[in-house]
Amino acid sequence: MPGVVWGPDVGSGLLALAVVLPVAGALLILPLGRHAERVPHLLFMAGLVLATAIAYHVWIGGVLTAAIGGWPAPLGIVLRADGLSAVMLLTTALVLVPVGIFAAGEFQPRTADGRESRAGLLFWPLMMGVWAGLNGTFLSNDLFNIYVALELLTLAAVPLVTLEGKAGTLAAALRYLLFALLGSLLYMLGAALLYGTHGTLDLTLLADRVRDDASALIAAALMTAGLLAKTAMFPLHLWLPPAHGGAPAAASAILSALVVKASFYLVVRLWFDLFPSLLDDTGATVLGLFGAAAILSGSVLALRQARLKLLVAYSTLAQLGYLFLMFPLAGGGTEAQPWTAGAWSGGIFHAVSHAFAKASLFLGAGILVQGIGHDRIADLRGAARSLPMVIAAFGLSGLSLMGLPPSGGFIAKWLLLTTAMASGRWGWAVVMFAGGLLAATYVFRVLNRAMATPEQPLRLVQPVHQSRQLAVLFLALVSVLLGLVPAIPFELLQIGGGLSTVEGFR
Amino acid sequence: MTGMLPLLILSTSLVPAVVIFFLPEAATRVRAAVNLIGALAKLPLVGLILDGVAAGEQYELRYTLVPGLDFLLRIDALSLLFLSLSAFLWLLTTLYALAYLRDGANQSRFFGFFSLCVAATTGIAMSGSLITFFLFYELLTLSTWPLVAHRGDARSIASGSHYLAYTLAGSTALLLGIVWLEGQVGPVEFAAQTGIAGADPNTLRWIFLLMVGGLGVKAALFPLHSWLPAAMVAPAPVSALLHAVAVVKAGAFGIVRVVYDVFGIGLVTDLGLGVPLAAVASFTIIYGSLRALNQSDIKRRLAYSTVSQVSYIILGTGLAGPTAMIGGLVHLIHQGLMKVTLFFCAGALAETLHIYRIQEVDGCGRRMPVTMLAFSICAVGMIGLPPVAGFVSKWYLGTGAIEAGQIWVLFVLAGSSVLNALYFLPILYRTWFRPATGTWREPLTPLPAAKVWGLVSPAVATAVASLASGLLAAAQPFSPLGWATLIVTRDYGP
Residue A191, C-beta contacts closer than 8 angstroms, at least 6 positions apart: A143, A144, A147, A201, A219, A223
What φ, ψ does residue B235 adopt, rounded to 5°?
Answer: -60, 155
CA-to-CA distance for B231 and A411, rounded, in angstroms?
31
Kind and range of the H or E run holding A419: helix A408-422
pLDDT of amino acid A121: 81
CA-to-CA distance for B191 and B79, rounded, in angstroms?
12
> Does A3 map to a domain?
no
CA-to-CA distance for A172 and B135, rounded, in angstroms?
41
User: Average pLDDT in the A426-445 region?
Assistant: 94
CA-to-CA distance for B177 and B184, rounded, in angstroms?
11
Chain A, chain B: beta-carbon pairs less than 8 Å apart = 91
Q: What is the dihedral of CA B78, B83, B86, B89, to 10 degrees?
A: -100
CA-to-CA distance for B444 and B49, rounded, in angstroms?
48
Cβ contact A421–B183 (<8 Å)? yes
The residue of A451, A485, A491 whose CB has the most chain B CBs within 10 angstroms, and thus the best one to mutate to test that interface, is A451
Residue A402, C-beta contacts closer than 8 angstroms, at least 6 positions apart: A409, A436, A439, A440, A443
Under DSSP, the state recorded for A81 is E
Give the gap in angstroms from C-alpha B353 to the nearest C-alpha of chain A: 26
Give the gap in angstroms from C-alpha B175 to the nearest C-alpha of chain A: 9
pLDDT of amino acid B444: 78
CA-to-CA distance for A119 and A110, rounded, in angstroms?
10
**What length does chain A have?**
506
Q: How far is CA B359 from CA A257, A448, B20, B295, B442, in A?
A: 59, 34, 40, 11, 16
> Does B67 map to a domain?
no
Closest CA to B88 of B464, B360, B416: B464
> Does B152 map to a domain?
no
Render pLDDT for A151-205 as a digit per residue (tens, 0 to 9).
999 999 999 999 887 878 899 999 999 999 999 999 999 999 999 999 888 888 8
Q: Which residues of B touch A487 (CB under 8 A)?
A: 64-66
What φ, ψ does residue A307 adopt, rounded to 5°?
Answer: -110, 140
Pick from A339, A385, A417: which is nearest to B179 by CB?
A417
Residue span of the structural domain in which B410 resides: 277-494
Count of CB atoms situated within 10 Å of the CB of A1: 8
> Does A125 map to a domain?
yes
> Does A126 map to a domain?
yes
CB distance B108 to B24 below 8 Å: yes
Q: How far is CA A311 from CA A297, A318, A397, A399, in A?
A: 13, 11, 14, 16
pLDDT of amino acid A253: 95
Q: Which amino acid is at A404?
A: L
Count of CB atoms situated within 10 Å of the CB of B493: 8
Render pLDDT for A263-314 as a digit per residue (tens, 0 to 9).
999 999 999 888 888 888 888 899 999 999 999 999 999 999 999 999 999 9
Residue A129 has pLDDT above 90, yes or no: yes
Q: Which amino acid is at A434?
A: A
A463-483 burial: b if 16+ Cβ within 10 Å, else e? ebeeebbbbbbbbbbbbbbbb
Pick from B154, B179, B187: which is nearest to A339 by CB?
B187
CA-to-CA distance for A397 and A22, rounded, in angstroms?
28
Pick from B64, B105, B142: which is nearest to A404 by CB?
B142
Give the gap in angstroms from C-alpha B1 to the nearest C-alpha of chain A: 22
Question: For B183, which residue in chain A has the nearest alpha carbon?
Answer: A422
Render pLDDT for B430-467 as a digit per residue (tens, 0 to 9).
999 988 887 778 887 888 888 889 999 999 999 999 99
Q: Where are the alpha helices (DSSP H) in A7-117?
A: 10-32, 39-61, 83-104
* Residue A335 confidence class, pLDDT cut points 50, 70, 90: low
Residue span of the structural domain in which A213 resides: 10-503
Tell me which residues of chain B have a pLDDT lower than 50: none
pLDDT of amino acid A1: 38
Rounded to 5, what percent of chain A is helix, strand, coil? Answer: 75, 5, 20
Domain count, chain B: 1
pLDDT of amino acid A458: 80
Q: How far is CA A86 from CA A77, A80, A348, A411, B142, in A?
A: 19, 10, 12, 19, 33
Cβ contact B157–A448 (<8 Å)? yes
Strand ranges (E), A172-219: none
> Does A358 map to a domain?
yes
> Does B197 map to a domain?
no
Preceding peptide of B477 cis, ω within 30°? yes
**3-state secondary structure string across chain B:** CCCHHHHHHHHHHHHHHHHHHCCCCCCHHHHHHHHHHHHHHHHHHHHHHHHHHHCCCCEEEEEEEECCEEEEEEECHHHHHHHHHHHHHHHHHHHHHHHHCCCCCCHHHHHHHHHHHHHHHHHHHHECEHHHHHHHHHHHHHHHHHHHCCCCCHHHHHHHHHHHHHHHHHHHHHHHHHHHHHHHHCCCECCCCCCHHHCCHHHHHHHHHHHHHHHHHHCCCCCCCCHHHHHHHCCHHHHHHHHHHCHHHHHHHHHHHHHHHHHCHHHHHHCCCHHHHHHHHHHHHHHHHHHHHCCCEHHHHHHHHHHHHHHHHHHHHHHCCHHHHHHHHHHHHHHHHHHHHHHHHHHHHHHHHCCCEHHHHCCHHHHCHHHHHHHHHHHHHHHCCCCCHHHHHHHHHHHHHHHCCCCHHHHHHHHHHHHHHHHHHHHHHHHHHCCCCCCCCCCCCCCCHHHHHHHHHHHHHHHHHHHHHHHCCCCCCCCHHHHHHHHHHHHCCC
Closest CA to A179 of A123, A108, A243, A136: A243
> Does B217 map to a domain?
no
Residue A452 has pLDDT above 70, yes or no: yes
* Residue A6 confidence class, pLDDT cut points 50, 70, 90: very low
First-residue to last-residue Cα distance in chain A? 27
pLDDT of amino acid B476: 75
Cβ contact B153–A453 (<8 Å)? yes
Pick from A345, A421, A437: which is nearest to B180 by CB?
A421
Q: How far is CA B67 from CA A359, A394, A411, A491, A495, in A?
A: 28, 29, 11, 10, 15
pLDDT of amino acid B315: 93
> Does B395 map to a domain?
yes
Which residues are registered as beta bridge partners of A67? A78
Closest CA to B178 of A483, A410, A318: A410
> Does A237 map to a domain?
yes
CA-to-CA distance for A311 and A317, rounded, in angstroms?
10
Residue A10 has pLDDT above 80, yes or no: no
> Does B494 map to a domain?
yes
Give the gap in angstroms from C-alpha B455 to the nearest C-alpha of chain A: 26
Under DSSP, the state recorded for A277 is T
CA-to-CA distance for A306 and A322, rounded, in angstroms?
24
> Does A420 map to a domain?
yes
> Does B382 map to a domain?
yes
Render pLDDT for A179-189 as a digit per residue (tens, 0 to 9).
999 999 999 99
- Angle at which helix A10-32 crosses helix A118-139, to 10 degrees, equals 160
User: Average pLDDT in the A52-81 region?
Assistant: 84
Residues on B contacting A at a C-beta cutoff of 8 Å: 21, 64-69, 105-106, 109, 131, 134-135, 138-139, 142, 145-146, 149, 151-154, 157, 160-161, 164, 168-169, 171-172, 175-176, 179-180, 182-183, 186-187
Pick from B131, B149, B176: which is nearest to A433 by CB?
B176
CA-to-CA distance for A287 and A275, rounded, in angstroms?
15
Residue B475, C-beta contacts closer than 8 angstroms, at least 6 positions apart: B482
Residue A230 has pLDDT above 70, yes or no: yes
Cβ contact A339–B154 (<8 Å)? no
pLDDT of amino acid B193: 63
* Residue A7 confidence class, pLDDT cut points 50, 70, 90: very low
Residue A90 has pLDDT above 90, yes or no: yes
Closest CA to B223 of B142, B163, B307: B307
> Does B172 map to a domain?
no
CB distance B112 to B21 below 8 Å: yes
CA-to-CA distance for A390 and A192, rounded, in angstroms?
47
Q: Which residues of B touch A414 (CB under 8 A)?
A: 66, 69, 131, 179
Cβ contact A421–B175 (<8 Å)? no
* Residue A339 confidence class, pLDDT cut points 50, 70, 90: low
CA-to-CA distance for B174 and B135, rounded, in angstroms?
11
Q: How far is CA B18 from CA A28, B112, B114, B377, in A?
A: 43, 7, 11, 37
Least confident of A34-38, A471-475, B39-43, B384-388: A34-38
pLDDT of amino acid A340: 56
Largest CA distance in chain B: 69
Domain count, chain A: 1
CB distance A365 to A249 below 8 Å: yes
Residue A341 has pLDDT above 70, yes or no: no
